[in-house]
Every structure is written in structure tokens, then in C-alpha cells.
Amino acid sequence: MRTDEGGDVVSEGQAYGMLIAAAIGDEASLRTIWAWTRSNLTRPDGLLAWRWSEGSVADVSSASDADLDAARALVLAGERFDAPELGAEGERLAAAVLDHETARFGGAAVMVAGSWAMTEPEQVNVTYFSPRAEQDLSRFDPRWTAMSGVHRGILERLLGEDPLPPDWIRLDGSSISAIGHGSAPVQFGLDAARTPIRLAESCAPDDWALAARMRTPLVKQTAAVGIRHLDGSPAVEWKHPIALVALAATERAAGDEAAAAASLREAAALQQQYPTYYGAAWVALGHLMLETSMLGDCSAPST
């Protein structure tokens, strides 16, 4: 429950809780979170409604990042807890993402922001791309391997144009355009900060290289600034822990483990000083994804 944002529940938060519970071996919490999520958020197509408030679903739209993270958590839980029924539910949710949250781009599949974003020009939140989840799920469906390569190609194009990627893009034919979303302009915001984290967690060196490229723009002026322009310059004065977790990801990808650990400690301290739902989630996930192998190791690296 996002107590700092009106007390609502979002599918993203449920998925984060499930990933954390699976990582630390807390089967009871994972099952509790998933039971509530399955009962209250599951849509007829197998995806999750993204927002629940005051006793019911407030917005039935899906969010592909939450669906993908939840699928990964269930598959991981199935393996960790010797619970094949959880793994099977994760595979079904992953299949629903492929069936209902992907569009064609350049003749190949790409994951869009949700089932609502399937109409051309499709809207894509590039921070929803999760190479590690895609690698894990490719064991069950090879379509994930192909789509992960497309996602990497999109990020390479974006980073060829600007030092940092935007939160949102629009796909139109073979073109890619950075766009604002809602009242927010084009920016490297609290969404986009997840991109280097997810890249640095990958088992593919090409993803690490993309994350490492973002290190220089993320240390411009103040590393903790919450929103940046795509050239790396600060767009606001306020700070946020996920900005430091993002920096830690670029440092880890560049091989500077000491700097990454220091940035994660600074992120945790900032979260304690100014606690938020989102900051707490990503301080925890940043530690699990970047400092431990609790979400799975890369003993069989993907390429």
C-alpha cells in the first residue's frame, strides 16, 4: 500500500513485494501477496489491473512492468520453494504479457506499456524493459530472447541520440520519438532511473556496457537529483534515493564495486531521511539486484 500516495495499491508494488519475498526466501509473504493480487487484480486476459483503491479496482488498465516482474517472481518462487504451481502461474502470466502487451516494431515484437498501448503509434516505457526477467523467462518461451534483443537495440538508438534515455517513447513505423507522459515533459525521471539498474542486473555484457555509458551524465552536479534532462543536467533541485541506486548500477556495470556500494549506502540513508514507498522499494531492489545473487546468479550467462 502506497501510504505516502493516498493509500492505494498498484500492481507494480505487488510485484516488487513478490520479488523481494522470493529473493529473501519468505514464502509465506510471497504467497500472501500473490493470493491478494490474484484475487483482486487479475483481469480476464490474465494480466493485472494496475491500480486498486478504497476496496476495488480503480483502473483496470494493465502495466507491463508489473506483469513482467510478477511473472519473474512467481517463476523464481516456484524454483526456490519447490512449488511448481507458483512457477506455472508465472509462466501463464508471462505468456499473457507476450500475447496482450506486445506490438510489432521493425518486423519484431516489442513490449509496450500495457494492453492499452497497443494502438499505433504505440507508447513504450523503456524503463519497463527487464533484461534479466526476459533472460529467465526465455527458458520457457524463446520469444523472450528475440524481444530482449529488440529492447537492447531500442536503448542503443536512444543512447546514441542523448546521454540518458527518456521515460517514454512512441513507436511509429520504424521511427522512435521521445515523448512526455501526462503532464510530465520529456525527461530522465523516476521511471527512467530504473533503466540502468535493470541493465546492470542483466547477465549480458552488452547490457552492462549500456548501463556503464550512463555513469558520466548521472554524476553531473549532484548524483541524487530526482529528475534530469536527457543531457544529464538537473531538471529539479529535490533528491531521490532511486537516483543514487541508478548511479550505483552504472558504477557496478563499469566495474567500480566500491563506488557502487557507497552509492547504495547513500541511497539507504536518504530513504531513511525522507521515506517513500518508491524509494523504499528501489533501495531494497537495488541491493538485491546489484549486490547479491539472491534473485539468481549468472552461472549460465546470456548473450
Q: What is the mean pLDDT of residues 15-31?
A: 98
For residue range 176-192, list pLDDT tens digits in order: 999 999 999 999 999 99
What's the mean per-residue pLDDT of the chain?
A: 95
| Closest CA relative to residue 17, chosen from 78, 73, 91 | 73
Residue 119 has pLDDT above 90, yes or no: no
The active-site residue, picked from 4, 5, 8, 12, is 12
In this structure, are residues 128 and 111 in contact, taking their beta carbons and an 8 Å threshold? yes
Identify the pLDDT of residue 300.
46
CA atoms within 13 A on the CB side of 33: 25
Give the model's confidence band at 220: pLDDT under 50 very low, under 70 low, under 90 confident, else very high: confident
Please say if the pLDDT value at position 302 is more than 60.
no
- H/E run at residue 290: helix 277-291
Please give the average per-residue pLDDT across 5-22, as a whole number. Answer: 97
Element (H, E) at 196: helix 194-201
pLDDT at 110: 96
Residue 65: active-site member = yes
Residue 120 has pLDDT above 90, yes or no: no
* pLDDT, tens digit (0-9, with 9 covering 90-100), for 227-279: 999 999 999 999 999 999 999 999 999 999 999 999 999 999 999 999 999 99
Q: What is the pLDDT of residues 287-301, one digit of tens each?
A: 999 999 999 888 643
Please name the amino acid found at residue 214.
Answer: M
User: What would the pLDDT profile of 34-82 be if each residue is shown by its tens digit?
Assistant: 999 999 999 999 999 999 999 999 999 999 999 999 999 999 999 999 9
Cα(234)–Cα(101) distance, integer angstroms: 33
Amino acid symbol at 149: G
Indicate if 12 belongs to the active site. Answer: yes
**Active-site residue, from 4, 54, 65, 256:** 65
Cell digits for 119? Answer: 494502438
Residue labelled with grid coordinates 488498465: 61
User: Averaged over 207-220, what is the pLDDT?
Assistant: 95
Question: What is the C-alpha separation between 173 and 195, in angstroms, rounded?
Answer: 24
